[in-house]
């Protein structure tokens, strides 16, 4: 009504209008470019952000505008949770849990290896460059910042339908290494990591296990609570708006509680998404199912575009570049060194850990082939908004962007993010098609084409049961069935299914315990 | 991931977690209280907010916590738009446009009458009380603040299904008087209203007409643009997430653009909602229809609860009360005087304007009876979050809460808001049932019971056509049909229908031009 009266808020009205306008433009352009093999929505958002940054710079005569500066809080509190939650919600649980040990190996041990290589490498190589003073903590932070795979980028280039194994490995790694990053950052602030003793190493491992366990339990707990509440309270008389609101609020609650307790919010909200899709989603009305499914997907979609737009605009904020431009050679050198370290750091853990992982697998089908290893290495190279946010957090904390060392670290991070996002985004799809042509021609691409226009009454593609169900009613899903027949059923999975059917589902609902009849009248029969 | 590292944001994590937790609690409690005739979700949210405020106060030993202080920006930028948009989106257009002239009369002339009575009354009566210095502008602002009907409160107590005429009149008045308030506030800041000349009065009328016209045109324009884009671009190949995202973004865009151009955002987003439900909504896939309908309703629902929770918590922020507590008698006196002025101010325009409105109506059925007039008077008495936000804006602008006059104005506003919301919320439903028992027993309550559980495939209750459609397939809707037969079709409406069918629908879609078949396959045929 009367925002016009108030002074300081006027600026944010400007900024919000601009962002909403750009987001709409990105969606429309993304739609028009859908047929293009190269340009994805994320890259076009990045480019639109860059263009918009140029326009703002020109219109403000080269001065930086606050619109451009990356806001960590906005990113971590509002944009990231819906993306990770939706990934958990729409995750094919079978692939994720089959490769759980490998994912943990990548996310925990792999991130550590990468961290040490980047930290030690930069410590050695930066000595020769004149980049001003950096503390040992800065190098350690740099290692932590650049060793984390960006889950948001992964979602952009890997398709769950086309390459389910790759997707679950690389995306799962991105989720798990968030916990590693939290532990690393805490460790950097608490311990003197330049003298690593066995006690500190053990403490570190203990911290990781504690954090991983508590974050997971919190996510699962909130998810189960939502399932229980909706199952018990809405018994017989459903109210769509309340159900949808409660699901959204409780999903967000899990993330915020994790942040409040200094846990890994990403891990928590991811597991909350998995639990909600397995139990809660089956307890709500048909309307609520369609609504939540598409609302979560839409929120995630808009947040992703927003992030890339934001990273693109932020890249042109001038303050940091003016400091750096005094020594362009050093800046380019630092960026190249860091890029090389990222490449080497990732290679140094993907190939050895894949080898170890393959040793534990009996069936040839379960092993990760060399071409797949290369794709995993490549697809996880992208660094994104998480790196930018962390770089700002570390190097711009007390307004120290004016110092050469800090400014170079931020600009180099942004350079790496832009470079890996654009190159990775442009080439990954083609690389996947080139290296793994077999999977492309199997039934799954057909499947994804079908599922993109799937009917209202089709259940979500979640978990093994749903897949089998869809296979039965629609197209026989050849590769999935073949894998099911050739690989021996995992014992853990077998006992889990028994436990799920005997204890969990009767208490928390889920498929089979809330009768689901497509096209049924609005009054669904609840057991 | 790493919010724990950063200092200032920690507090907001606390606050967000608390609010999300309370919102979930309100939804669950609201559900449990659904059968209660007295307690509505809004009152329980208000009470929970008050209780929570007490707990926070006790735990911080009486110091105020920033969590409690009302944030205008949050309210006007994020909470209000979804509520008003959804009201427009789900509005029964027939009732709204049939009573359009009466609504404008109430919203524009009525608000002015109420404004003058409250301003002049307080100017006269406050002289006898010792309330510190207040400028003439403060009295004018007080009039503007307390003469505005709160649309959010109206939504809480009036049911569109049960009392469509009352709902459209009182809610429509609330939307239109937003434009009046913007004009009033601008006028207060620009002109010297203590010497009203005919020029200023003419300027005022001109401003109102300009603002009303531009705000409406902007809303309709953005709505039509969204319909056109979705119709043209998504031709034949639908993508649910993009459609939903675009609809949400463009709805929000209309509000933000109105704020940017100093127009009435509420009026704009309301008309945008009406246009989107009439055209855009029919151009999207079936999934998108279900999703947008429930997403808008859920967003609005959560925002409403949030607002009442917030008002309840804010009421216990201590700073203003400690200043006021030094002169409790004056404070109570001011509150009582203002409450009386609000009652008189509203009576002073409802009854005369209803009389004028009745003169223009030929049919006895169209006239507003005395009992209905009383209900309209009562239902619009509630003052809500808009008043609180405006009171803060006027009286706490430069940290002047310490001054007695300002503190009393804020606490009196809060007192009136709490009193009218609780009393209005508790009694309005019963009053409506007592004064207008006929409408209660007609088919419409049945209808609303049915529609609360309505099936996925049922179209929205929008506009005359949809209603007829529902009447045909479900229950014959007696009162609506009877009214249609007894009242002569409005000429304006007749020509509008012709224009709509010949020009608008072919260009922007809408029912009949995007073939709608319930339960049809996902590939909808688009003309």
- Residues A308 and A42: beta-carbon distance below 8 Å: yes
Of A14, A182, A456, the CB nearest to B287: A456
Percent of chain A with pLDDT over 90: 16
- Across the interface, whether the CB atoms of A181 and B1 are under 8 A apart is answered yes
Give me the long-range contacts of A212-218 (CB less than 8 A, separation at least 24). A212/A108, A212/A176, A212/A179, A212/A264, A212/A267, A214/A261, A214/A263, A215/A179, A215/A258, A215/A263, A215/A264, A215/A265, A215/A267, A215/A268, A215/A271, A216/A267, A216/A268, A216/A271, A218/A254, A218/A257, A218/A258, A218/A261, A218/A263, A218/A268
**Helix, strand, or coil (residue B519):** coil
Beta strands in A104-237 (DSSP E): none
Confidence of residue A126 (pLDDT cuts 50, 70, 90): confident
Query: A286 to chain B: which residues are within 8 Å by CB?
Result: 456
Query: A241 to chain B: which residues are within 8 Å by CB?
Result: 294, 297-298, 301
Of A241, A294, A522, the CB nearest to B240: A294
For residue A33, the chain B residue with the least C-alpha distance is B233
For residue A296, the chain B residue with the least C-alpha distance is B241
Number of A/B CB contacts below 8 angstroms equals 224
**Helix, strand, or coil (residue B514):** strand
Of A181, A298, A454, the CB nearest to B245: A298
What's residue A463's pLDDT?
Answer: 38
What does the buried/exposed string (b/e) look like for B281-291 if buried means 16 or more CB atoms within 10 Å of the residue's CB? bbbbbbbbbbb
What's residue B397's pLDDT?
Answer: 63
What's residue A471's pLDDT?
Answer: 35
Q: Average the pLDDT over each of A306-320, B226-240, B478-492 and give the range with the smallest value.
A: B478-492
Of A30, A186, A249, the CB nearest to B20: A249
CA contacts within 13 A on the Cβ side of B79: 22
Query: B32 to chain A: which residues are within 8 Å by CB?
Result: 233
Q: Average the pLDDT over each of A56-65, B159-168, B408-417 and give the range with the smallest value.
A: A56-65
What's residue B466's pLDDT?
Answer: 39
Confidence of residue B490 (pLDDT cuts 50, 70, 90): low
Nearest-neighbour CA in chain B from A9: distance (Å)? 7
- Residues B155 and B175: beta-carbon distance below 8 Å: no
Q: What is the tens place of the pLDDT at every residue in B334-359?
A: 899 999 999 999 999 999 999 888 88
Confidence of residue B149 (pLDDT cuts 50, 70, 90): confident
Please report which helix (H) or strand (E) contains residue B160, including its range: none
- Residues A112 and A177: beta-carbon distance below 8 Å: no
Smallest Cα–Cα separation from A448: which of A82, A28, A92?
A92
- Residues B287 and B241: beta-carbon distance below 8 Å: no
- Across the interface, whether the CB atoms of A72 and B9 are under 8 A apart is answered yes
- Across the interface, whether the CB atoms of B2 and A185 are under 8 A apart is answered yes
**The pTM is what?**
0.82
3-class secondary structure for A439-474?
HHHCHHHHHHHHHHCCCCCCCCCCHHHHHHHHHHHC
- Residues A467 and A91: beta-carbon distance below 8 Å: no
- Across the interface, whether the CB atoms of A1 and B72 are under 8 A apart is answered no
What does the buried/exposed string (b/e) look like for A261-289 if buried means 16 or more CB atoms within 10 Å of the residue's CB? ebbbbbbbbbbbbbbbbbbbbbbbbbbbb
Of B76, B301, B455, the CB nearest to A1: B76
For residue A178, the chain B residue with the least C-alpha distance is B1
- Across the interface, whether the CB atoms of B12 and A77 are under 8 A apart is answered yes
Q: Which residues have CB under 8 Å from B90's CB, separation 6+?
A: B160, B277, B296, B297, B460, B461, B462
> For residue B118, is pLDDT > 80?
yes
- Across the interface, whether the CB atoms of A3 and B32 are under 8 A apart is answered no
Give the CATH fold of the A2-435 domain: Na+/H+ antiporter like fold (1.20.1530)
What's residue A222's pLDDT?
Answer: 96
- Across the interface, whether the CB atoms of A266 and B241 are under 8 A apart is answered no
Q: Which residues have CB under 8 Å from A3's CB, separation 6+?
A: A9, A10, A13, B73, B76, B77, B259, B265
Q: Which residues have CB under 8 Å from B18's CB, separation 6+?
A: B52, B67
Q: Average the pLDDT over each of A277-281, B217-221, B421-425 and give the range with the smallest value.
A: B421-425
CA–CA gap between residue A311 and residue A425 (Å, rounded): 15
Confidence of residue A470 (pLDDT cuts 50, 70, 90): very low
CA–CA gap between residue B283 and residue B276 (Å, rounded): 10
**Residues of CATH 1.20.1530.20 domain(s) within chain B?**
2-435
What does the buried/exposed string (b/e) look like for B456-465 if buried means 16 or more CB atoms within 10 Å of the residue's CB? bbbbbbbbbb
Query: A175 to chain B: which residues are within 8 Å by CB?
Result: none
Query: B229 to chain A: which residues are within 8 Å by CB?
Result: 28
**Helix, strand, or coil (residue B515):** coil
Using the 8-state DSSP alphabet, how is residue B127 labeled? G
CA contacts within 13 A on the Cβ side of A23: 28
Total Cβ atoms within 10 A of residue A40: 21
> For residue A186, is pLDDT > 90?
no
Q: Which residues have CB under 8 Å from B198's CB, separation 6+?
A: none
Q: Which of A487-496, B246-255, B331-340 has the highest mean pLDDT?
A: B246-255
- Across the interface, whether the CB atoms of A17 and B260 are under 8 A apart is answered yes
Smallest Cα–Cα separation from B250: which of A42, A17, A299?
A17
> For residue A67, is pLDDT > 70?
no
Confidence of residue B200 (pLDDT cuts 50, 70, 90): confident
Query: Which tokens go with A98?
Result: 């089959």
Q: What is the tens place of the pLDDT at every residue in B409-421?
A: 888 888 998 998 8
For residue B24, the chain A residue with the least C-alpha distance is A246
What's residue B473's pLDDT?
Answer: 39
Confidence of residue A443 (pLDDT cuts 50, 70, 90): very low
A367 or A413: which leads in pLDDT: A413
Confidence of residue B512 (pLDDT cuts 50, 70, 90): low
> Phi first, then psi: what are they for A514, rounded to 5°?
-115, 110
> Phi first, then psi: what are they for A265, rounded to 5°?
-60, -35
A411 or A526: which leads in pLDDT: A411
Distance of CA B435 to the CA centre of its chain: 24
Smallest Cα–Cα separation from B2: which of A199, A418, A90, A211?
A211
Q: Is the dihedral of CA A152, B290, A220, A278 positive or negative?
A: negative
CA–CA gap between residue A157 and residue A167 (Å, rounded): 9
């Amino acid at each position: 009504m009367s925002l016009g009266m108030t002074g300081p808020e006027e600026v944010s009205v400007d900024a919000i209008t601009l962002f909403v306008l750009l987001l709409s433009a990105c969606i429309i352009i993304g739609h028009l470019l859908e047929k293009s093999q190269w340009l994805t929505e994320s890259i076009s958002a990045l480019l639109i952000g860059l263009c918009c940054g140029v326009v703002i710079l020109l219109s403000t005569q080269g001065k930086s505008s606050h619109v451009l500066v990356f806001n960590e809080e906005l990113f971590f509190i509002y944009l990231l949770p819906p993306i990770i939650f939706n990934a958990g919600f729409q995750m094919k649980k079978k692939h994720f849990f089959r490769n759980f040990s490998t994912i943990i190996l990548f996310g925990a041990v792999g991130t550590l290896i990468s961290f040490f290589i980047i930290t030690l490498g930069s410590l050695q190589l930066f000595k020769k460059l004149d980049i001003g003073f950096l503390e040992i903590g800065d190098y350690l932070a740099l290692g932590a910042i650049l060793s984390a795979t960006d889950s948001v980028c992964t979602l952009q280039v890997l398709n769950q339908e086309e390459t389910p194994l790759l997707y679950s490995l690389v995306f799962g790694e991105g989720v798990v290494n968030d916990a590693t990053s939290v532990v690393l950052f805490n460790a950097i602030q608490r311990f003197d990591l330049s003298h690593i003793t066995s006690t500190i190493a053990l403490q570190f491992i203990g911290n990781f296990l504690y954090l991983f366990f508590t974050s997971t339990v919190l996510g699962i707990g909130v998810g189960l609570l939502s399932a229980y509440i909706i199952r018990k309270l809405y018994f017989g008389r459903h109210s769509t708006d309340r159900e949808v609101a409660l699901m959204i609020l409780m999903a967000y609650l899990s993330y915020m509680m994790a942040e409040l307790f200094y846990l890994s919010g990403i891990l928590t909200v991811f597991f909350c998404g998995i639990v909600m899709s397995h139990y809660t989603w089956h307890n709500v009305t048909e309307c609520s199912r369609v609504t939540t499914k598409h609302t979560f997907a839409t929120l995630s979609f808009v947040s992703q575009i927003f992030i890339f737009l934001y990273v693109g605009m932020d890249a042109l904020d001038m303050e940091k570049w003016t400091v750096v431009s005094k020594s362009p050679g050093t800046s380019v050198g630092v960026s190249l060194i860091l890029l090389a370290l990222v490449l080497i750091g990732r290679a140094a853990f993907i190939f050895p850990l894949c080898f170890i992982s393959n040793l534990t697998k009996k069936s040839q089908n379960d092993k990760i082939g060399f071409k797949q290893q290369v794709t995993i290495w490549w697809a996880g190279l992208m660094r994104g908004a998480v790196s930018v946010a962390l770089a700002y957090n570390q190097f711009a904390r007390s307004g120290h962007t004016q110092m050469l060392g800090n400014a170079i670290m931020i600009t180099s991070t942004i350079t790496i993010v832009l470079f890996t996002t654009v190159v990775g985004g442009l080439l990954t799809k083609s690389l996947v098609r080139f290296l793994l042509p077999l999977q492309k021609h199997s039934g799954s691409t057909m499947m994804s084409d079908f599922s993109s226009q799937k009917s209202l009454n089709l259940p979500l593609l979640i978990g093994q049961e749903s897949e089998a169900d869809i296979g039965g009613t629609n197209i026989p899903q050849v590769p999935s069935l073949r894998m099911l027949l050739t690989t021996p059923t995992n014992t853990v999975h077998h006992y889990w299914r028994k436990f799920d059917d005997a204890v969990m589902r009767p208490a928390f609902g889920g498929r089979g315990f809330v009768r689901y009849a497509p096209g049924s009248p609005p009054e669904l029969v609840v057991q």
